[in-house]
Amino acid sequence: MGILSKHVGIKFGSPAVRVLNDISVEIKDGEFVSLSGRSGAGKSTLLYVLSSLDNPTEGSVEISGQDITKMNSIDLHRFRNEQMGFVFQFHYLIAELTSIQNVLMPAMKCKRDVELRPRAMELLEKFGLKEKHDRYPRQLSGGEQQRLAIARALIMKPKYLFADEPTGALDTVNAESVMKILQECSTQDKMTVIMVTHDPDFAAMAPRKIVLADGKIISDNATNPS
Amino acid sequence: MIFLAIRYLLERKRQTLLTLLGVFFGTLAFVAVSGFFKGFQGFLVQQLVNNAAQVHIEIRQDYLSDHVLDVPFFSNDLVHAFWNPPPAGVKGYLDIQNPQAWYNRLNADPRVEAYSPTMTAAALFNVGLISVAANLIGCNPNQQAKVTTIADYMIAGKFTDIAFGGNRVILGDELMKRLGAGMQQNILVSVGTNSAVPFKVVGRFYTGSRGLDLQAFAALNDVQRVNKTPNYVNEIGVRLKSYLDADALARSWAHLGPERVESWGDQNLNIQSVFAIQNALRLSMIMTVLIVAGFGIYNILNMTVNQKRQDIAILRALGYDTFDVVMLFFAQGMIVGVCGTVLGLGSGYLFCRWLQSLSFMLATPSNPQGHLHISLDWVIYVQATGLALLSAAIASVLPARAAGKLTPIDIIRQGG
């Protein structure tokens, strides 16, 4: 089923500035896609529209066959909680919670935090944070914070992982570590991963590369484009 | 969300404590000030309700006005009458016209606890060369003791000692002092132009009110005889099972005879108006304190919403909806409100108990230690809880709603 956008456009402000223009793209389940382009190309905006965080002013977006632009707020938030994971350039961890509590935040929404606690510990172990499960975000390094944010995104075993410049604030070593995790999500867990990056090397690590300019797709190496 | 709300509050200990102190002091002030005012009012009401009858059935004596005789003399066609001199005087009766009908009515009414017919006469008390004018009240002491608390104020003798008749009198402390009389002494009592009659002093009472202590009590028959008005009664005092029924009963009884019927409230309207002003002052003062406490919560939460925009963004991205975000901030305000209220109520109660133990007032027979009268009425605590929580809820819901309206994409675009 995957993600299907049909003639998506988005305009901001007054006078209106068109940020996305007639984007139609299909991303199949399990694909690892990079969105790249220069600043202002619309890559982050496309990611937010595809992930339901932003609403297009034109067109529609279907995820797993459901038009998310027409979903009511409660269904949409449940859908996000159960099926989507998010990683941002800045980790957006909650400073008042420990590592394990941050990882379990999505599970707390659906009252599955007790059930998913072992999985949270597994993820922390996998990302080298098991010993720091009771530490607060301020007690972790930048790379550890971003890995913790990825663990939080993966706790609910989402079908879709959206990453907006996940390596943007990291040094090379940590950035490569994060990229390796994202690749594993796609290859091992068969997750659909959509990643925005301005780094051509990291973009090249994704099998499918979409390049945007001025709100339009100018290049898509998909083998089976829609 | 409660879990995260508590974590937020614990992380900002000083702000949380300051906000909590606002609600705490507001609630404490409500309990203490209300307890003080209501206690004072309750004390006065109890004095009025218990010391005297709750409903007074009295002879009606209306003053004549300038034109009261216009119609009887000149019929309705008259435009204006000039009287020289104008009519003057009092129109009415010297006694209750049909006391037996009242007794029957009062005996049959289940709301009546007791009643006491009295005959009050303006008398001159003499001991040797000393003369003092004072009211002599004739009553059946057993009935009078059920209607008023006069028997509790006896400091010598028993109030029922006058029941035996034979011209026995009980004097108020002030009257006794002015006469220089002693117990078991014979004094002379004269009413109007009637000749003086000897009475034996068999008791003494002290209420603390100089006006009341300048009165004397004797058996009803004795006073009627001295006054030369056999079987006359000029007042029936009534005690009710619930003093709160007094106003309604007085209004309904007023239509049943020529007598004037007044409740204890009617006779103390000035005090009730003072109570109303006190209550208005009390509530406005306390509301101000609680509104200030509410502003404290509002300011802190508003600041928190601004500081936690990134958290709101990620919570929304993780699947938390508008209601969750609203609850996250609303819960913080309400946790502070509830904790402040509970602590304020508890401390307010202890503070009131402490105030109760202080001796501020002059000692009176009913309050020999002179302790302050502080009300611990549960209504005060319910009102304090309601107002404090309402204040906290209103102060919390505004920033919480503002937080709920924030969209993750706006926050992310603005860089948190």
3-class SS string, chain A:
CCEEEEEEEEEECCCCEEEEEEEEEEECCCCEEEEEECCCCCHHHHHHHHCCCCCCCEEEEEECCEEHHHCCHHHHHHHHHHHEEEECCCCCCCCCCCHHHHHCHHHHHCCCCCCCHHHHHHHHHHCCCHHHCCCCHHHCCHHHHHHHHHHHHHCCCCCEEEEECCCCCCCHHHHHHHHHHHHHHHHCCCCEEEEECCCHHHHHCCCEEEEEECCEEEEECCCCCC
Identify the weakest region by mean pLDDT among A4-8, A121-125, B268-272, B305-309. B268-272
A53 to chain B, closest Cα gap in Å: 6
A118 Cβ contact list (under 8 Å, min separation 6)? none
B222: contact with A, CB 8 A cutoff? no
* Average pLDDT of span B280-301: 85
The predicted pLDDT at position A92 comes to 85
> Which residues of A lie closer than 8 Å to B, measured between beta carbons?
48, 53-54, 73-74, 77-82, 84, 86, 88, 90, 92-97, 105-106, 108-110, 152, 164
Task: Tell me the per-residue pLDDT of B299-344, one tens digit each, with 9 for 90 and over.
Answer: 888 888 888 888 888 888 888 888 888 998 899 999 999 999 999 9
Write down the pLDDT at residue B162: 92
ipTM of the complex: 0.85
The residue of chain A nearest to residue B11, with distances taken between CA atoms, is: A96
**In this structure, are residues B38 and B377 in contact, taking their beta carbons and an 8 Å threshold?**
yes
The whole-chain average pLDDT of chain A stands at: 86
* Candidates B7, B319, B321; nearest CB to A106: B319
pLDDT confidence bin for A226, thresholds 50/70/90 = very low
| pLDDT score at B415 | 62
Nearest chain A Cα distance for residue B325, angstroms? 11
Check pLDDT > 70 for residue B375.
yes
Q: What is the mean pLDDT of residues B200-216?
A: 90
Average pLDDT over residues B263-277: 82
Give the minimum alpha-carbon distance from B296 to chain A in angstroms, rounded to a whole number: 22
Region A47-73: mean pLDDT is 87
With CB atoms and an 8 Å threshold, state whether A106 touches B322. Answer: no
Whole-number average pLDDT of chain B: 87
Scan residues 52-71 of B and list those with Cβ closer than 8 Å to A: none
Assess contact for B250 and B239: CB atoms under 8 A. Answer: no
The stretch B123-139 carries a mean pLDDT of 93
Band of residue A224 on the pLDDT scale cut at 50, 70, 90? very low
Rounded to an integer, the average pLDDT of B271-291 is 83
Whole-structure pTM value? 0.70
Lowest mean pLDDT among B40-49, B55-64, B257-266, B302-311: B40-49
pLDDT digits over B94-111, tens only? 788 889 999 999 999 999
Of the candidates A140, A224, A157, which has an alpha carbon nearest to the alpha carbon of residue A191?
A157
Q: What is the pLDDT of residue B350?
A: 95
**pLDDT value at B256 more than 60:** yes
pLDDT computed for residue A41 by the predictor = 85
pLDDT at residue B365 greater than cutoff 70 = no
pLDDT in tens, A65-90: 888 888 888 888 888 888 899 888 78
State mean pLDDT over B6-22.
Answer: 89
Give the β-pairing of A208-213 and A32-37.
Answer: parallel
A169-184 average pLDDT score = 82
Percent of chain B with pLDDT over 70: 97
Q: What is the pLDDT of residues A108-152, one digit of tens each?
A: 888 888 998 998 998 898 888 888 889 999 999 888 898 898 889
Pick from A86, A111, A155 the residue to mutate for testing the B interface (most B CBs within 10 Å). Answer: A86
A201 vs A176: CA distance, rounded Å: 10
Pick from B42-51, B222-231, B336-345: least confident: B42-51
Contact B4 A94 (CB under 8 A): yes
Q: Is the pLDDT of residue B50 over 80?
A: no
Check pLDDT > 90 for residue B216: yes
B403 min Cα distance to partner chain A (Å): 16
Select the more confidently predicted residue: B275 or B138.
B138
pLDDT computed for residue B168 by the predictor = 94
Q: Is the pLDDT of residue B144 over 90?
A: yes
B270 compared with A107, residue with greater pLDDT: A107
